[in-house]
Structure 1
Amino acid sequence: MQALVYLAQGWSLGLRGEPLFPELHHAWSTGPVSSHLFKLHRRDYSVTAWPFGNAERLTAEEAVIVDSVVRQYGALFGAQLQSLSLVCGPPWVRARGEHGTGLIPLDEIRDHFTSALRADRA
């Protein structure tokens, strides 16, 4: 779930220039992690239902992004998601530093996903 949330945030930043949510991701060794979400699903390694939040609060544009991420990546397992360069790409690598768990800046995520969009269109 953490990778899917990061992907949704990245595509929102890349496509709209706006984040879906204000929380930043930490660069953990397993990939980007939202500490806010981690506190809610700690010890749940498989999340099939999510009682938190309200999908109706999403704008139509935000809902399209979230739905697209779930359709495109939702069937992948954790290791498959981690292997995607979009997930564990340059912003994550820079924030990791030398075995760190630094925060991944939103502007770096935006630039990374914007570059991916340009590459797809080329």
Structure 2
Amino acid sequence: MAKVEDIAECFLYLDDKNEGDGISNLKLQKLVYYAQGFYSAIFNKPLFNNDIAAWAHGPVVPDLYHAYKQHGSNRIPVPVGFDRSSLNSEEIELVEEVFEVFGQYSAWKLRNMTHEESPWLNHEIDAETIPLTEITEYFKTRIN
């Protein structure tokens, strides 16, 4: 199983490699959420073990948020020496696909998209943890 930090670094690396506009903490949170959702729906197991919470601006991995919060809404610097071998081939393939589909959108577009999805809607009032089972079931409806 991947570590959420490695998934995040992979997204930052892909953005830099593809000469993207940079990834803020808000955008990174949404990309990681979509990666977890699609991975768990396809493989019936989590991509990473960290909880995802329904915060005001959409789904957030609190541990990851705190790791990058010092950047505010600015671009997160690309990690030096990202090691692709920290992820297996199916993890990298899924992250690359999520980046290809969702990486083109702005942080606010991704935020607004998650605000229309049931995993966040069902838990945002209390800013609760979104159960992985609920995320998985929702994303299964998006892959069939």
Length-normalised TM-score, structure 1 = 0.85
Q: Does 1:116 align with 2:142?
A: yes
Residue aligning to 1:21: 48
Paired residue for 1:79, among 99, 108, 117? 108
Q: Which runs of 5+ in 2 are unaligned?
A: 1-27
Task: Give the direction of change, closer, same or farther, for the CA distance of 1:53–1:93 in structure 2 (3 Å limit).
Answer: farther
Aligned partner letter, 2:37: G
Q: 2:94 corresponds to which residue? A: 65
Residue 93 of structure 1: which of 102, 118, 121 is its match?
121
Provide the TM-score with structure 2 as the length reference. 0.73
2:53 match: secondary structure = strand
**Cα deviation, residue 50, structure 1:** 3.6
Shift of 1:83: 2.2
Return the structure number with greater relative CO, CA threshold 8 A, min gap 6: 1
Higher percent of residues as strand:
1
Counterpart CA distance in 1 for 2:124 and 2:59 is: 10
Give the Cα–Cα distance (whole angstroms) in 2 for the partners of residues 2 and 117 of structure 1. 21
Task: Name 2:36's counterpart in structure 1.
Answer: 9
**CA RMSD between the two structures:** 1.7
Query: Could you tell me which residue of structure 1 aligns to residue 19 of structure 2?
Result: none
| Structure 2 CA distance for aligned equivalents of residues 59 and 38 of structure 1 | 24
Residues 89-121 of structure 1: per-residue CA shift (max 9 Å, x gap): 111111113xx2100000000000001112xxx
Identical columns (%): 27
User: Which structure 1 residue ranges, 5 or more long, are not aligned?
Assistant: none
